[in-house]
Amino acid sequence: MTHDIDALNSVTETLIDSQKGYAKCCEVVDDSYALRSNFQERAQKRLNLVEEFQAEVRTLGGEPETNGSVVGKAHRAWTSFTTIFSDDEKAAVEAIDDGEEFLAEKIEHVLAKEPLQPRTRALLQKAHADARDGERFADALEDVL
User: 36 CB contacts (<8 Å, ≥6 apart)?
Assistant: 26, 29, 30
CATH number at residue 51: 1.20.1260.10
Q: How many domains does the chain have?
A: 1
Of 16-20, 88-92, 126-130, the one with minimum mean pLDDT is: 88-92
pLDDT digits 0-9 by tens, 94-103: 888 888 999 9
Closest alpha carbon to 95 in 77, 70, 69? 77
pLDDT at 29 (0 to 100): 74
pLDDT digits 0-9 by tens, 49-60: 999 999 999 999
Range of the domain at 60: 2-144
Q: What b-and-e string marks burial along 58-95, b requiring 16 or more CB atoms within 10 Å of the CB? A: eebebebbeebeeebeebbeebeebbeeeebbebbbbb
**Global confidence as pTM:** 0.84
